[in-house]
Amino acid sequence: MRTHRLPAALALSALALTALTACDSGGSGGSGGGSKDAAPSAPASSTASPSPTAPALADLPASDIAEKSQAAGRKLKSVTMTISLPGHPEGPFSGTFSEDASGNCTGTYTFEGKGSVEIVRVGDKVWTKPSAAYLKATAPGIPAERVGKWFVEENSPTGMAKFCDLGVQLEKRVGLDTPGTPSSSLRKGDTKQVDGAPAISLTMTDDSGKPVRYDIAAEGEPRLLATETGTGEMVVKLGDFDKPVQATAPAADQVVQG
């Protein structure tokens, strides 16, 4: 089967693999002991300064929020990503992919009016199973015995298997330009709700001049919950964090040979 490719402009900021190490947040040390004139019988707790309360995520500068989100992304074991690319050159594209940091992945993607394709990746091996409608639209005349079967695909950085890495990589790259450096255009936006969860938005401009928005969870781990490039050109939502991915290679008799 022919391998589909992401439009370069839409993939630009999302697919680079370099991530920065988040800066350590150093807490201030406690104050010293009481003055010489303090009563010797006074307990230490009566003179110690109270521990400062950590600021809420939404109160931090944009760069600090991005660093904390990147750090949470580097600890992530797995994620489920839903993506929409209405301007894909082969027709409006949408998909859902569950993927883990080891490379395992299951998912389904659809080109509007052409049908859907299932995808499985186990380690570095990839298979796809197109629907009958997809085969009819893209490969008319294919032998009937191949309908409903799995096809071996390349685990290529430009093929559809790239979506099996995209969600994990997006979690690590909040606020970064393609080379992996912090964007000078990063700004803090409004607080909002993403599927009922409180979030703080960050905005920036990517290397191609397109606006990018990141919605970061404001409570718990500061994970990326959603992102949008352009005005709806690429829309991604992320969830099911650290949920195990059940990816199993298809049976040999269900795989098209040759």
Position 149 scores a pLDDT of: 96
Position 4 scores a pLDDT of: 36
Position 158 scores a pLDDT of: 84
Position 38 scores a pLDDT of: 39
- Domain extent at residue 167: 61-239
Say which CATH number the domain at 171 has.
2.50.20.20
Position 54 scores a pLDDT of: 62
Strand order in the sheet with 105-111: 151-153, 125-130, 115-122, 105-111, 93-100, 78-85, 234-239, 224-229, 211-217, 197-205, 187-194
58-92: pLDDT as tens digits: 999 999 999 999 999 999 999 999 999 999 888 89
Domains contained in the chain, number: 1
| Under-50 pLDDT residues of the chain | 1-51
- Residue 256 domain flag: no
Position 258 scores a pLDDT of: 65
Position 159 scores a pLDDT of: 87
- Residue 101 domain flag: yes
